[in-house]
Structure 1
């Protein structure tokens, strides 16, 4: 399954029926840590514009699904 966005090219990890809850929790935590470390390296905070370029705040965009 692909994301609804026509520009998306990656499969949605949480839509894979073969992925169990523990794997999803681990994936979310690792992804969250990577996103936060990249934001910190760029001097961004959760209220800064998201790294994806959406124009939304980081906490309201890419960080939200990783909680």
Structure 2
């Protein structure tokens, strides 16, 4: 699995961090998404996909 984030789309809602805090974080400077792990383990797949689904800006893309 590969995760890609578009910081231009991010609105800083933090839903991704709540869903998978070991994969996503928020920058202190502006609250936008910070990708911690672009290739998370398969065991985190459900949480990462959930993060992408609940992102209000559609800023997270999950590729298989």
What TM-score, normalized by structure 1, do the two folds share?
0.28
Higher helix share: 1
Please say which structure displays the higher CA radius of gyration.
1
